[in-house]
Amino acid sequence: MSIYGPTPDLHDKITGVKGSFNALINAIRFLRSYKIPVILKVTLFKDTFNFYREIQKLAEGLDVTNCFFGHIIIPMRDGSKKNRHMSISGKDFSNYMAFMNKDGAFTKMKNNKFARGKGDMLELSACSAAHNTFGINPYGELMPCILSQVSAGSLLKASFKDLWHNSSVLKQWREIKLKDIYKCNKCKLIAVCSICPAAQLLENRALKPVKAMCESSYFTDKYINENKSDLIFKTRKEAQNDKEDRKTSQEALCEANC
């Protein structure tokens, strides 16, 4: 689920829909009341960049599974790039790296055997779309992901199971590997890049680099190499334990003051 600010005023300003913040919060609480995992995704804009700490704090209070931050603004679905004026640069986003590091965000990048181009990394799938993620548009059509422009079929006419296993669109999407992406397949920063085929197709109408992602990868790699001694290396289990400790502390504080 997407959230754009820690307050109704800021979130609703971005969405252009009054009441959208409260509707989102109510939806999150409803899902969590049934123990359904919720992941929040946050795109930081010029208007919202300075509020990432408040957004993270709100996410923890809502007991969401995770909260991911990014800054890449891709073209609109009709190809228009008029939304780009809201973008922050990769250099500006790098100021957020230290905040990410407190949860061991860079562990996988440095410990992964592929991180320095070893192994058969180029044989890996380019993204998780149609593997363990998917999208459903307002018309009930199943998509490889929420950004993709191709439909795997209508869920109003066929079952999810049938489309998931038999759709030629999803099968083709699953075949996209890192080696298939022009220039990216020769880039030394590929291990720290958030390569997104759907964004590439929206931006370029072809599988080739998105400039903003290249810039972001450069500053991510730069931060990692300049701060090696300060990086917090944690396993997924350690990071999860830290999250549970924070949750317990918040509950204790509430019991003492509420």
Distances in whole angstroms, Cα of residue 113 to Cα of each of 70, 116, 183, 233, 244: 25, 7, 22, 15, 29
How far apart are the C-alpha atoms of 142 and 171, rounded to whole Å? Answer: 13
Q: What does DSSP assign to residue 80?
A: -
Helix (H) or strand (E) holding 42, with range, is strand 39-43
- pLDDT per residue as tens digits for the range 51-61: 988 998 999 89
Answer yes or no: are the C-beta atoms of 41 and 70 closer than 8 Å: yes
Q: What is the pLDDT of residues 26-64, one digit of tens each?
A: 999 999 999 999 999 999 888 888 898 899 899 989 999
Q: pLDDT tens digit string along 154-176?
A: 999 999 999 999 999 999 999 99
**Model pLDDT, residue 90:** 84
What is the Cα–Cα distance from 166 to 172, expressed in whole angstroms? 11
Is residue 44 a contact partner of residue 82, using CB atoms and an 8 Å limit? Answer: no
Q: Is the pLDDT of residue 85 over 50?
A: yes
Report yes or no: 196 and 127 within 8 Å, Cβ to Cβ. yes
Which pair of tokens denotes residue 249?
């502390």
Report how far residue 143's alpha carbon sits from residue 129's, in angstroms, rounded to the nearest whole number: 9
The DSSP call for residue 25 is H
Q: Long-range contacts: 7-16, Cβ < 8 Å, 24+?
A: 10/47, 10/48, 10/51, 13/47, 14/45, 14/47, 14/48
Q: In a 3-state reduction of DSSP, which class is residue 43?
A: strand
On the question of pLDDT at 91 being above 60, the answer is yes
In tens, the pLDDT along 115-156 reads 444 457 888 899 999 999 999 998 999 999 988 989 999 999
Q: Which of 70, 108, 60 is nearest to 242 (CA)?
A: 60
230 CB-near residues (< 8 Å, 6+ apart): 101
Between 183 and 106, the more confident residue is: 183
DSSP 55-74: HHHHHHHTT-SEEEEE---P
Q: CA-CA distance, 227 to 13, in Å (whole number)?
A: 36
Cβ contact 6:31 at 8 Å: no
Mean pLDDT, residues 78-107 taken together: 73
CA 42 to chain centre: 8
Residue 204 tokens read as: 């370029």
Beta strands in 76-226 (DSSP E): 135-136, 141-143, 153-154
pTM for this model (two decimals): 0.73
**Would strands 135-136 and 141-143 be described as parallel, antiparallel, or unpaired?**
antiparallel
